[in-house]
Structure 1
Amino acid sequence: MPDHASAWDLILSGDAALFAIVRLSLAVSLSAVALAALIGMPLGALLALTRFPGRPILVVLLNAAMGLPPVVVGLAVYLLLSRSGPLGAMGLLFTPSAMVIAQTILIAPILAALTRQTVEDIWAEYRDELGAMNVGPLSRVTTLLWDARFSLLTALLAGFGRAAAEVGAVMIVGGNIDGFTRTMTTAIALETSKGNLPLAMGLGLILVAIVIAINAAVWGTRLWSERHVG
């Protein structure tokens, strides 16, 4: 039987090992996106709305951080969480929590940089109105983030895409332990090297389907917002 046919058999039969990997991957990536959004989006909005000495340097560093090498982030988190590291006593290394931390560090700069640009564009439109209403800095941040919520879905999608496709960092801090820290990407790499192509292809098909589904949902939401909100 061809490998692609076997891959579909695994998916349609609800193979337990395959879907356990999918569930863990989604849990880790979605948790990382949520944490990165809580950190990165307010930071990006504040950078868009405030002016202070050193801001241009901070913006440049933030943009540069969007391209952080995953293996470097993985190494930094590994050293932080290792037994001899400052957070080693927490016992997080080689756990899903460590993978969430690594992915959050990778995603937060992306969300912050994209949010900064989006909020700056909206701020140019609402500056006079909010200024006349004497809206404080915190209220400005929350107001503009809410107004840009549909545009920021694209930023969240970019963050999820980075998380879902990540291999290096999660391999280092998670250890790719079967049944515990094995994600779709690390499993695809491992199973391909072992010659287990049906499982690798099955996971690849699901990963692509998830990305397409999220893109479709974001596109549909933006269309709805343009018709009913905008």
Structure 2
Amino acid sequence: MLRVMKLYRTLLVFLAIVLVPALGFGTSKYVVLEFEGAIGPVSDRYISNGIDKAEDIGADFILLKLDTPGGLMESMRKIVKKIMASEIPVNGYVYPVGARAASAGAFIMLSTHVAAMSPGTNMGAAHPVAMGEKQPDSVMMGKLENDAVAFIISIAEARGRNAEWAERAVRESISSSANESLELGLIDYVASSPEELLEMLDGHEVEMEEGEIVLETAEAEE
């Protein structure tokens, strides 16, 4: 009986050694979403479905690489709502060098749980632009502008970012470089590469709806 118990304990130890690496115990998992181009229904579906997938597979966080000149306000609003309601942190990253988060892209970046930019990128110029052949009159444009201002301020305040800059980005179409954005309190990091960003993110505290979590990204696996 004693021999059987020893063999049983040995088997349990063996299974633990084999299964722990297989289960990825102690290693964070993340999903990368990359979007380049104009914001529209396609990008809305891509980002929304990506967030759903990341939540379904139990990922710890999302890395959203963004390079956009802007696009449809309605699609942008859907993306922002999805990010704000995400069960896991969405880390926005304007990347690579030369990329931008302009117009609708600025709203999206401000809504991410953690925001970062690569050197040589910019964000802003968020004044609404009328689409289509029929242009709205000045009264309607004023309404669109005020609506956009209220929305971007609410996003900035929710994420603890610079609401004054956010308003000016809409009303005056101002734009800022990566380093300026960091100094102005619009983003959290300036990182030259995704690898460098993951190192910077390690230990970052993120406020989620259910409470504060600490990102473990140094050895995270995609």
TM-score interval for Structure 1 and Structure 2 normalised by the shorter chain: under 0.3
Q: TM-score, normalised by structure 2?
A: 0.24
**1 or 2 for the larger relative contact order (CA 8 Å, sep ≥6)?**
1
The structure whose residues are more often helix, as a share, is: 1
The structure whose residues are more often strand, as a share, is: 2
Q: Rg bigger for which structure?
A: 2
